[in-house]
Amino acid sequence: MNILFVADALELFQTYKDTTFSMMREAQRRGHRIVACEPRHLTWRSGDVVRAHVREITLTGTLNDWFQVNQAGLRALTEFDAVLMRKDPPFDSEYFYATHLLEQAQREGARVFNRPASLRDHPEKLAIMEFPQFVSPTLVTRDAEDVKRFHAEHEEIILKPLDGMGGMGIFRVGADGLNLGSIIETLNHHGTTTIMVQRFVPEIAQGDKRVLVIGGEPVPYSLARIPQGSEIRGNLAAGGKGVAQPLSARDLEIARAIGPVLAQRGLLLVGLDVIGDYLTEINVTSPTCFQEITEQMGFDVPAMFIDAVEAATAS
């Protein structure tokens, strides 16, 4: 197969942990051709199809200079057997525009994963609203008084922006309500921005579990991202420690209920975030943790993913 990866700049990859790199490595091991571009390289002109300025690469197997460019040029996305959208968040205006270009390519016959329209339809924090049976008490609002009433009811809460990533902008407020008003103002910008508020789940001490679902099927191991020191955030980007572990019965219940639903919508790869028994986010843009689970548990997550890509393009 010819596989196009739409991702961040290759020069910025941290290959020792990067999930997209692990996908590329497995694809090359199977003899597939690897091509890459950034979203900014996508282009469309009336009377033509969506094209991209791409680089066909070979992985060198070395830590530095990990890829070499075989050739570069402008190519139609329909020339590829699979187009994998792997641009990291944030989901900003440029990401949004890229999904529209990819959707046009899809109309022209390109096979794009995850499906561009579904990327737009599943904002990673708000997507949990569809599955309230798995969610802890949660409030989505702009209104400061709504937040204060929620706090009075649940006493210990977490507040976070809807467009945050990597644990950025997350606050914990205890029963004393210390600084609650200031935190609300910081996050909701005096009532102009919608935020999410959730009852604090103390099981965060055991980790914020990333449960991967590929082609509707759960990977049998999660990566528990465990907060360190005085932190409440388990995100690896915020200094959390990643510990792989088998899925719990509750993890499986959540993944088996949600995975097939999202797979039917063209979401080939999904990352569910679970704290204790509760679903907290549904990640669809660029789910990670392949390498950590593979290295710690010996389960080949990249192989499972490329299996799914091959099956999806063969159907």
pLDDT reported for residue 238: 62
Q: Is residue 253 part of a domain?
A: yes
Position 288 scores a pLDDT of 96
CATH number at 234 reads 3.30.470.20
Catalytic residue among 25, 160, 199, 209: 160
CATH number where 160 lies: 3.30.1490.20
Does residue 283 lie within any of the structural domains? Answer: yes
* Active-site choice (114, 124, 225, 251): 225
- Tokens (6 digits) for 153: 């009811």
12 in Cβ contact with 43 (< 8 Å): no
Q: Are residues 192 and 221 in the same domain?
A: no
Q: Which residues, given as ranges, of the chain have pLDDT below 70?
A: 230, 233-235, 237-238
115 is catalytic: no
Q: Are 193 and 163 in contact (CB under 8 A)?
A: no
In a domain, 239, yes or no: yes
* 155 belongs to the catalytic site: no
221 and 173 inside one domain: no
pLDDT tens digit string along 290-304? 999 999 999 999 999
Q: Active-site residue among 25, 115, 125, 209?
A: 125
Contacts of 182-185 with CB under 8 Å at 24 or more apart are 183/159, 184/144, 184/147, 184/148, 184/159, 185/144
Please indicate, yes or no, if residue 70 is contained in any of the structural domains: yes
Residues 90 and 175 occupy one common structural domain: no
Full residue range of the structural domain in which residue 241 is found: 204-303
The reply to whether 48 and 66 lie within a common domain is: yes
Q: Does the annotation count 209 as an active-site position?
A: no
Judge whether 132 lies within some domain: no
Residues 167 and 212 in one domain: no
Q: How far apart are CA 88 and CA 17, in angstroms?
A: 14
Does residue 167 contact residue 179 with C-beta atoms inside 8 Å?
no
Give residue 125's pLDDT. 94
Q: Cα separation of 278 and 243, whole Å?
A: 19
> What is the average pLDDT value for the chain, to the nearest integer?
95
Is residue 208 domain-shared with residue 194, that is, in the same domain? no
Q: Are 215 and 267 found together in one domain?
A: yes
For residue 66, the domain's CATH number is 3.40.50.20
- Which of 233, 235, 251, 292 is labelled catalytic? 233
Q: Catalytic site residue 108?
A: no
Determine the pLDDT at residue 234.
65
Catalytic (active site) residue 273: yes
pLDDT confidence of residue 229:
74
Residue after which a domain boundary falls, among 200, 218, 251: 200
Q: Are residues 101 and 6 in the same domain?
A: yes
Q: Among 147, 179, 200, give the residue marking a domain's end.
A: 200
Is the bond into 64 cis (omega within 30 degrees of 0)? no
Return the number of other C-beta atoms located less than 10 Å from residue 71's C-beta: 9
Please pick, among 124, 210, 235, 251, the residue that the annotation labels catalytic.
210
Cα 244 to Cα 277, 296, 297: the distances in Å are: 17, 6, 7
The predicted-structure confidence for 277-293, as pLDDT tens digits, reads as follows 999 999 999 999 999 99
Q: Are residues 249 and 185 in the same domain?
A: no
- Same domain for 251 and 287, yes or no, is yes
Q: Which residue, 184, 200, 216, sits at the end of a domain?
A: 200
Any domain includes 312:
no
- Residue 22 CA to residue 240 CA, distance in Å, equals 21
Same domain, 162 and 75: no
Would residue 314 count as lying in a domain? no
Catalytic residue, chosen from 114, 188, 235, 283, is 283
233 tagged catalytic: yes
Indicate whether 119 belongs to any domain. Answer: no
Examine the domain organization and report whether 228 and 247 are in the same domain. Answer: yes
The total number of structural domains that make up the chain: 3
| Residue 63: predicted pLDDT | 85
* Per annotation, catalytic residue among 26, 38, 124, 281: 281
pLDDT at residue 239, as a whole number = 76
Amino acid (1-letter code) at residue 107? R
Catalytic residue among 103, 208, 273, 292: 273
